[in-house]
Amino acid sequence: MSKILEEVLNANACYVADFGDKASLALPPARHFAILTCMDARLDPAKYAGLVEGDAHVIRNAGGRASDDAIRSLVISYKLLGTREWFVIHHTDCGMELFTNEIMSDLLSSSLKTASIDESGWHDCGEGSGCSDGKYINWLTIRKQEESVLEDVKRIRNHSLVPREIPIYGYIYDVKTGCLVEVPAATAAGAVA
């Protein structure tokens, strides 16, 4: 057993020992909202947004981007589990600012042995989506936080499956202070129409 696996299981045992009345939490988020944010290790949405177990959906990926998969999750969050307000929260010093699609392609092709890229490459289409030979990968890199938050709020707002009555708030988390800083243009774009 790896050291990390052992540590995680030990930590879990402590959590279980103090689980209390969390066993009775309901499936739908009690506070009816969802946060889309980055996978970055420095971000703890429960801490920076004041969540306890049962409160809110938290969706995370590289960059906190409004990918098709994030939108799949948000639509389920709303339609089946009743969330009614959404936050898009990117952050300062994000790894996604450090590279571009081109750099990522170079990195991967220069490390065939470890990345095991195969001859047909990798494409960004869902299984059964009807894609045939797409070789394009959109890594969803970020040039500037204010722009990426605005772009993602707009993408969600304009999505055909997203109801207009859900407000979407755009924020940037500052990793140096812990502060959530609004992106006013994004929140405006995400306002109820």
By the rule CB under 8 A, 188 interacts with its own copies: no
Closest to its own copies by CB, 134 vs 188, is: 134
Judge whether 131 is annotated as a binding position.
no
Judge whether 32 is annotated as a binding position.
no
Judge whether 124 is annotated as a binding position.
no
The DSSP letter of residue 68 is H
Range 169-191 burial, b when 16+ CB lie within 10 A, else e: bbbbbeeeeeeeeebeebbebbe
Among 126, 184, 188, 191, binds its own copies (CB under 8 A): 126
Q: How far is CA 160 from the centre of its chain?
A: 20
Judge whether 94 is annotated as a binding position.
yes
By the rule CB under 8 A, 11 interacts with its own copies: yes
- Cα separation, 93 vs 133, in Å, equals 35
Which tokens go with 63?
């960059």
How near is the Cβ of 78 to its own copies at its closest, in Å? 9
How near is the Cβ of 146 to its own copies at its closest, in Å? 18
Closest to its own copies by CB, 80 vs 144, is: 80
By the rule CB under 8 A, 29 interacts with its own copies: yes
Residues 46-65 that bind its own copies (CB under 8 A): 46-62
Which tokens go with 186?
């994004």
The DSSP letter of residue 126 is P
Dihedral (C-alpha) 144, 146, 152, 155: value to the nearest 10 degrees? -110
> Could you give the C-alpha distances from 111 to 105, 108, 114, 116, 190, in angstroms and in order?
10, 5, 6, 8, 41
Coil, strand or helix at 188: helix
How near is the Cβ of 140 to its own copies at its closest, in Å? 7
Closest to its own copies by CB, 169 vs 183, is: 169
> For its own copies, what does the binding mask look like between residues 128 and 157, x meaning CB under 8 A?
xxxxxxx-xxxxx-----------------
Q: List binding-site positions.
A: 38, 40, 91, 94
Q: List binding-site positions for Zn(2+).
A: 38, 40, 91, 94
